[in-house]
Structure formats: C-alpha cells, structure tokens
Structure 1
Amino acid sequence: MDREIHFRMAAEQDLDKVVEMLADDVLGSKREKYEQPLPESYLKAFQAISSDPNNELIIAYQGEEIIGVQQITFTPYITHQGGWRATIEGVRTARTYRDKGIGTALIQWAIKRAKARGCHLIQLTTDKDRQDALRFYQRLGFKATHEGLKMKL
C-alpha cells in the first residue's frame, strides 16, 4: 500500500469528504452542515473556487484515501511593492490520520506552492480557541505579527 502523501487539486467528487473533514471537529461541527445530499452552497463554493485561478482547494491523499484538505488563495497587493500573498484556510486532517504529520505536510506543500507562485508572504488565521493549532503553526515558523479582526455578515 502506498504510504506516501500526495497532493492534487480537489475534484467535485471529493466534496463530500472535504465537508466531512471540515465538520469533524468541535468548531467545525457548529458551523458546517454535513448531510446527504450536501447543501447546494458547498457545490457553488467549490465551483467558484475551482474556476478561479487564484484559488486552489488542495487534497492530501494516500493511495485512494483522502486524508487532508486546505484552501490556498493567492492575492495581489498594492502594499509590499505590489507583491503577492498566499492565504491558507480550511486546513483539516481526517480524524484517523491526525498526529501523523499530515498537517505538517499540507503546510509545507502550501509554502512551496506559494513560493512557486512568486508570493513574498504566506499567511493564515486560526480561531483563538484552537490553541493546539496555534502552537502547531508557530512550530512551523508562523509568527503572530498582526492582530486580526473579523465581522460576521
């Protein structure tokens, strides 16, 4: 059996597993709606992401099994001399694969991808209640350099 972790762009048939992973934690279970059939909003979001060359929904897999997901958005900025940034969102590892290096592999892949796209900066946010995630990202070299604010609409 292939134990190597591979990465690829998500396909529509992956959406069920992606939403399942997003919903499978304390915070995700409060905001995601994993049911059959999936709400149409997920398909619309997937179609918007997959049709945008500056958005990538990335699947991590071993053999035929999807074991992780992350979204990377590439954004041009006027600041930093008109440089590009990569933003990582929605990082999840399948429950049975947690604490096995999948999250590290996902983030390292995203960093390489951002460099390949010419980004000068890679950024992410994590919920303040996710203290383990915060420590994880800091171990990978991310620094809390800014205070982020959000407003639900």
Structure 2
Amino acid sequence: MSDIQIRRAVADDVPVIVAMLADDPLGAQRESLGDLTPYLSAFERLDGDPNQHLVVAVREKHVVGTLQLTIIPGLSRRGATRSIIEGVRIHADARRSGLGTQLIQWAIDESRRQGCQLVQLTSDATRTDAQRFYKRLGFVASHVGFKLPL
C-alpha cells in the first residue's frame, strides 16, 4: 500500500468524505448529499481545533478513505490523554485492500506521537464485520456504549 498517502483533509475533500459516510445502510439514513453546508461548517470547526485530525487516504489523486482522530486530555487513568477514532470509511472500490488497517495504524501511531495512553473507538452494534476487523487489530470490546440524541 505504498501508493497511499494519508494527509489532513481540506475543504475540497468534504463532498467525497460525505459520500463515503453515506455509502452504507446506516450512513444512508443519517447523511445527506444534497446540502453540504452543515458539513462544511463542521469541517471549519474541526480544521480550527488542534485536537481534531480529520484525514484522508489518497491513491492516484483520489480520496479512497477517511477517519477522524480526536485527542482528549483527561484526569482519569492518572491524567491520561486518550484518543478516539471516529468516522472510519473506505471507498467501496478500495475495501478489502488493507487500506483500513493502514488508516487505523496511522491513527494509533499519531495517538502515540500525541502522548496518548489509550486509543478507543465505537462501532454500531449492527456492524459485525467492522467489529471483527477492530478485534483483529487488537481492540477489545471492553465497554457498553450509550447515546442520547439531542
């Protein structure tokens, strides 16, 4: 996968990132490709926050993957800093190519570089393939997560 470059996302990447977020049954229910205004506004907030790392994987000038890494300082675990991996998506044409592993490894390496002691992520309970993938990479399903829509 040496032909892949992982770089910070730019505003021009937002349409393809949103398309990847929408390209599965869950994402299709919550994403909208029609009006990119809320996504561009969110991108500005992310881009201006040094603890947010929205990245894309690029092959031959095409965005083929993305994830968001958030760095969170905290008091628990003896003042540990942790990171959260969110929004991992691989373009349909690039799935099962090792790109997901490469993106997650980038996030782990960046978390170490940022001084994190823990990397965490969540996966929707229906995404059984994703859960197998994360377990294969060494993640442990150690907690039960809850969400409250506002």
Q: Paired residue for 1:23?
A: 22
CA–CA separation in structure 2 for the residues paired with 1:3 and 1:104: 13
Kindly indicate whether residue 8 of structure 2 is the aligned counterpart of residue 9 of structure 1.
yes
CA–CA separation in structure 2 for the residues paired with 1:129 and 1:63: 33
C-alpha deviation, 1:3, in angstroms? 5.7
Q: Paired residue for 2:59?
A: 62
8 Å Cα contact 1:21/1:92 also seen in 2: yes
Q: Paired residue for 2:80?
A: 83
Q: Paired residue for 2:113?
A: 116
After TM superposition, the structure 1 stretch with the greater mean CA deviation from structure 2, 56-65 or 119-128, is 56-65
CA–CA separation in structure 1 for the residues paired with 2:42 and 2:137: 29
8 Å Cα contact 1:3/1:62 also seen in 2: no
1:50 alignment partner AA: D
2:29 alignment partner AA: K
C-alpha deviation, 1:140, in angstroms? 0.3
1:9 alignment partner AA: R
1:91 alignment partner AA: V
Which SS does the other structure have where 1:27 is aligned? helix
1:5 alignment partner AA: I
RMSD over aligned CA atoms reads: 1.1
Kindly indicate whether residue 36 of structure 2 is the aligned counterpart of residue 39 of structure 1.
yes
8 Å Cα contact 1:3/1:63 also seen in 2: no
Q: How far does the alpha carbon of each residue in 1:27-49 deviate from its partner, in whole angstroms, 9 at most, with x for none? A: 100000012xx331101100000
1:72 alignment partner AA: L
TM-score (norm 2): 0.97
TM-score (norm 1): 0.95
8 Å Cα contact 2:15/2:36 also seen in 1: no
Unaligned runs of 5+ in 1: none
2:33 alignment partner AA: Y
Q: Paired residue for 1:139?
A: 136
C-alpha deviation, 1:106, in angstroms? 0.5
1:7 alignment partner AA: I
Task: Name segments (4+ residues, structure 1) moved above 2 Å.
Answer: none
8 Å Cα contact 1:76/1:84 also seen in 2: yes
